[in-house]
Structure 1
Amino acid sequence: MKKYLYLFFGATLLFTSCSSDDNEINNGPTPDPEPGADVTAQNFMWQAMNLWYFWQGDVEDLADDRFSTNAEYTAFLEANANAENFFYSICNRHEEIFGDDNAIDRFSFANDDYSELVSGLSGISQSNGVEFRLSLISGTENVFGYVLYIWPDSDASTKDIQRGEFFTRVDGTQLTINNYRNLLFGDNSTYTLGMATVTDNTISDSAKEVELTKIENQVEDPILIAETLDVNGTKVAYLMYNRFLSSFDEDLNAAFAKFVADGATELVLDMRYNPGGSVNTSRLLASMVYGTNTGEIYIKQRWNDKIQVQFSEEFLTDYFANSTGTSAINSLNLDRVFVIATGDSASASELVMNGLDPYIDVIHIGETTRGKNEFSITLVDDPENSFIYNSDREGNINAENSWGLQPLVGRNENADGFYDYTNGLAPDIALEEDLTNFGVLGDVNEPLLARALQEITGSSAKIDFTVEMPAESFTSSRLETPIKDNMYLEKPLQLNN
């Protein structure tokens, strides 16, 4: 007998008609806190992580036999009164605690308001439409930002601000390593950027100011550019794709229909700023690039040992697709693809590259990617549904505990079994963006696109790709949002029992 249960993996709402008894994963007895103990949040976190966390078997404090009595369990929960700190303490050497050099888990996180987490993961945000990176001014704690691109139909799209511009101040205050979060990502829905210029690698404040207002419930169209270029007689499809959102799957398929109709024989897939998203959308995109043979494996999932055995092989394996679920896939049927990717390219972006690699030549131009090969799910205090968030069960979530968790619960591998790119996917052709020569996205002279086109056409024309001021950063506008660089699944969970 097979049981089906719909999961909310990361951002997409899926419904279930199963009873709550059917929804429970068989996990055996678990400890309970003693009556009266003020450990509601910590108890939820331990129970959920003990069941779902990818590294559960490697974390001593999450072991099934860690506590011999409920009193011992209660004392453990009470020892850390700060719920967020408790969460990180039961993760596997989390970056929050250990830093970059020793971290194993770099991406699990918690939010004290699960509704805010769910909204953000659904691609809904409060945004003024400016995507940017932040970098330190050499030798100081001062911070400068530079604009990557502007969302169409956003507040910023109506203002005098564009890709490649610099800023150093917010409401007249110099950005620093200590205040940038509050100034740029705080509760202020409107702020004024103080712009700057760069001359001879020196950043100088300018008199220009731009007032920006964040608009509620903004959803970015992830397809920024989709056009076919005629380069010396070769039809080259160019797709600037900035997030894997399933709500735009039909738009993505329509873009490929146009590429096919235009007679495109090459593709430059630009994911330099794409932090990831839906695994299923990545599967659809890969099928649009390579082909629609539903008998060929795209990726396979690996969960922790106690969960893995409860899943069917059918659930664990994703094949290439011939349909979006609504319409037939439009595929270019290519034997190679040129991918522009950088350190901002993560999770589902890397998954497309890794999933295609056994089948076609993936020529990676740019920088080493972020290295996020795990996926996460959203967990809330609803033990009767195995802690899985489902909006249909809002009334069953513990009203006294609003915490939501986004822990890493699994890892994807390609048809060859390869998954080990924690350090990122290295480029075949290394080329950083240049702060002094950002170029216009989609223009044939924009450096990274120009390098791809040079490779496609075999042009011997001498183009200077020297980088004078590398576009380095320590964070970006994407990484400071709830959705961050999450990768999530969208299909019914199929149990063996």
Structure 2
Amino acid sequence: MQQQLLSLAKKVLVATCCIALMYSCKKDKLTTDNNNGGNGGTTSGGTTALSNEDSLKYLMYNIMQVSYADGGRTPSKGLPTYFWYNSVPTLNPLDAKYSTADVLLRTIAGYAINPTTQQPYDHYSFLDRTGVLTNKLMNGVSASRNVMATTGDIGMEYAPVWDSQNKKVRLFVLYADKNSPAGQKGVTRGWEIVSFNGVTKFDTTATFLNQAYNAILNSSSVTLGFIRNDGSSYTTNLATGTYNVNPVAFDSVLTMNGKPVGYFVLYTYSSVVNSSGQDTYTKTAIDASFSKFKAAGITNLIVDLRYNGGGAVTTAEYLDNLIAPASAAGKVMYYYQYNDKLTAVASSIGLESQVNFSSTAGGMNLSNVFFITSRNTASASELTLNNLRPYFTNGIHLVGDTTYGKPVGFIDFNISMFDSTHTQKYLADLYAINYATTNANHSGGYYTGIPTDPGAQAADRVNVPWGNTTYDDNLILINSYLNGRGYTLARIESLNNFLQPIKSATLHTGFNGMVDYRLSQKIQNGLK
């Protein structure tokens, strides 16, 4: 099998993120000596025509399992990038049983088994075939890197809820990006969607839920009818658009126990610097929130990550430097762990073993930091809170629900090729697990999630606006804690009995992961 892969690699040049992964001559012809497992007719020493999908399968497999640096032509020096590569047997990526690259990727991801859960460790790896996610996370822009793909989105998320009192399904906005088409029209958390494209009859069937999703989040435009938080009606058309991502869905200075408390909501971790090294709107928005908090003289901070599926590690690091105590300055923030092959050459190809807090970290002098979390809080957002734990004595708190559980991350590999006309063709961005992280105390491995503080579990009341200390269970518990009563839940019963999402319904709250685009660049430089 190894000989088959070596033969196939004769005309392939494999590189890494932002380096086009391309064939060095015609993309549709690869040598296939002794290849009996591929699809399409082949002969000994002959050639076979490869589809774009076969090309993607082949290149993806080599990046993960053989060597990102030379297409597997020198296996003794091979550098597989997949974190669990040694659990995967040798496979033929062109075997007909792998109908798509996604099927092959799921097969690879199924081999490394977590002994605690008896399930595969890897339920994270995926392909981004449009480049939309990559551009949003790396450059903070809601547009595709693939010019053939639909550009932009409407910039909001919603949840279906079951109203047991009125025996019906209702749809509520979870959040909206302030810069997005939805945000520009004032759409925000707690607004009820009462119609979409004229549809007003809602139910819990899969057919309806798919119809709603496709109309609201998977189309180029939609007409939505709302009931605002003040009870007024509003109908508008929302069309997808390109915008600079503003991850801060809400911020405010609250009063708890007679003192100012900073509160802000981050729905994603788009990078604070783009691929050109320039500051993004993400950094601008975060800086504005912290300037507000510093001016108010806060000593307690609430970071609401209940819908944050992670993103760029640069943003996690930036937040940690803002939040950390001064005693953390210059000390270890977190450690990287790679597979054995990459670890052996890490320094020579630019892969760092650890990240430290900046020398200027810590200017807030915070007594307590509360993170509001849920099963949607994943990876880079988990990294943020885990990094801070060694530097706060009983000062890092989790309220809400256990996090998603993803202590591992990605290096983005942009896979593209040149066709027979020498035109570069984008195929996909590969997000396959490349590293794990631990904090300064070497604590990590939270594959089943990070639990809340004892007694700090809280329901997510989706019809409650941001920052409402009367009806938001999470803020009620935090207020109680700061008033010396521990986590005690006491609230006024009203506001439609506090509606919660239907557990069986999928929330499309975005990406679950953490990506280190900086490592991608370092690997690229290490190849030169």
The alignment's TM-score, normalised by the length of structure 2, stands at 0.69
Other-structure match for 1:87: 105
What amino acid sits opposite 2:221 in the alignment? T
Q: Is the 8 A contact 1:53 1:304 kept in 2?
A: yes
**Separation in structure 2 between the aligned mates of residue 394 and residue 300 of structure 1, nearest angstrom:** 41
Q: Is the 8 A contact 1:432 1:471 kept in 2?
A: no
Please state if 1:405 is matched with 2:430: yes
Q: Judging changes above 3 Å, is the alpha-carbon distance between structure 1 residues 165 and 235 closer, same or farther for their aligned structure 2 residues? A: closer
What amino acid sits opposite 2:318 in the alignment? L
Q: Secondary structure at the match of 2:261?
A: strand
CA displacement 1:79-132 (0-9 Å, x = unmatched) = 43433322322223599xxxx98343222111344x445334444332323322
Structure with larger RCO (C-alpha < 8 A, sep 6+): 1
Q: Is the 8 A contact 2:246 2:285 kept in 1?
A: no
Q: Secondary structure at the match of 1:132?
A: strand
Please state if 1:289 is matched with 2:307: no
Amino-acid identity (%):
23
Other-structure match for 1:453: 479
Aligned-pair CA distance for 1:485: 2.2
Aligned-pair CA distance for 1:396: 13
Aligned-pair CA distance for 1:402: 1.7
Aligned-pair CA distance for 1:427: 0.9
Please state if 1:486 is matched with 2:521: no
Q: Judging changes above 3 Å, is the alpha-carbon distance between structure 1 residues 468 and 184 closer, same or farther for their aligned structure 2 residues? A: closer
CA displacement 1:218-274 (0-9 Å, x = unmatched) = 233112333333334322122222222212224423432332332211111111222
What is the number of residues matched between the two proteins? Answer: 426
Q: Which residues of 2 match residues 365-444 of structure 1 at below 5 A?
A: 365-381=399-415, 399=424, 402-428=427-453, 429-435=456-462, 438-444=463-469
Other-structure match for 1:243: 268
Other-structure match for 1:390: none
1:276 aligned residue (299, 310, 317): 310
**Separation in structure 1 between the aligned mates of residue 399 and residue 323 of structure 2, nearest angstrom:** 17
Aligned-pair CA distance for 1:135: 5.6
Other-structure match for 1:389: none
Other-structure match for 1:108: 125
Q: Judging changes above 3 Å, is the alpha-carbon distance between structure 1 residues 90 and 455 closer, same or farther for their aligned structure 2 residues? A: same
**Separation in structure 2 between the aligned mates of residue 229 and residue 208 of structure 1, nearest angstrom:** 28
CA displacement 1:10-31 (0-9 Å, x = unmatched) = xxx7x99xxxxxxxxxxxxxx9
Q: Secondary structure at the match of 2:345?
A: coil
**Separation in structure 2 between the aligned mates of residue 155 and residue 78 of structure 1, nearest angstrom:** 43
What amino acid sits opposite 1:306 in the alignment? K
What amino acid sits opposite 1:238 in the alignment? Y
Aligned-pair CA distance for 1:170: 3.7
Q: Is the 8 A contact 1:382 1:397 kept in 2?
A: no
Which region of structure 1 is more displaced relative to structure 2, 115-124 or 280-289? 115-124
CA displacement 1:59-83 (0-9 Å, x = unmatched) = 1136xxxxxxxxxx47x53443433
Q: Secondary structure at the match of 2:301?
A: strand
**Separation in structure 1 between the aligned mates of residue 288 and residue 55 of structure 2, nearest angstrom:** 48
**Separation in structure 1 between the aligned mates of residue 269 and residue 484 of structure 2, nearest angstrom:** 31
Other-structure match for 1:471: 501
Q: Judging changes above 3 Å, is the alpha-carbon distance between structure 1 residues 427 and 486 closer, same or farther for their aligned structure 2 residues? A: same
Q: Which residues of 2 match residues 335-374 of structure 1 at below 5 A?
A: 335-360=367-392, 361-374=395-408
RMSD between aligned alpha carbons?
4.0
Other-structure match for 1:53: 82
What amino acid sits opposite 1:109 in the alignment? F
Q: Judging changes above 3 Å, is the alpha-carbon distance between structure 1 residues 314 and 117 closer, same or farther for their aligned structure 2 residues? A: closer
Aligned-pair CA distance for 1:410: 1.3
Please state if 1:128 is matched with 2:158: no
Q: Is the 8 A contact 2:370 2:397 kept in 1?
A: yes
What amino acid sits opposite 1:191 in the alignment? V
Q: Secondary structure at the match of 2:241?
A: strand
**Separation in structure 1 between the aligned mates of residue 284 and residue 317 of structure 2, nearest angstrom:** 14
Q: Is the 8 A contact 1:283 1:321 kept in 2?
A: no
Aligned-pair CA distance for 1:7: 7.0
What amino acid sits opposite 1:216 in the alignment? G
Unaligned runs of 5+ in 2: 1-14, 21-33, 39-45, 66-79, 143-151, 273-279
**Separation in structure 1 between the aligned mates of residue 508 and residue 141 of structure 2, nearest angstrom:** 14
Please state if 1:299 is matched with 2:334: yes
**Separation in structure 2 between the aligned mates of residue 398 and residue 35 of structure 1, nearest angstrom:** 21
Other-structure match for 1:27: none
Q: Is the 8 A contact 1:287 1:322 kept in 2?
A: no
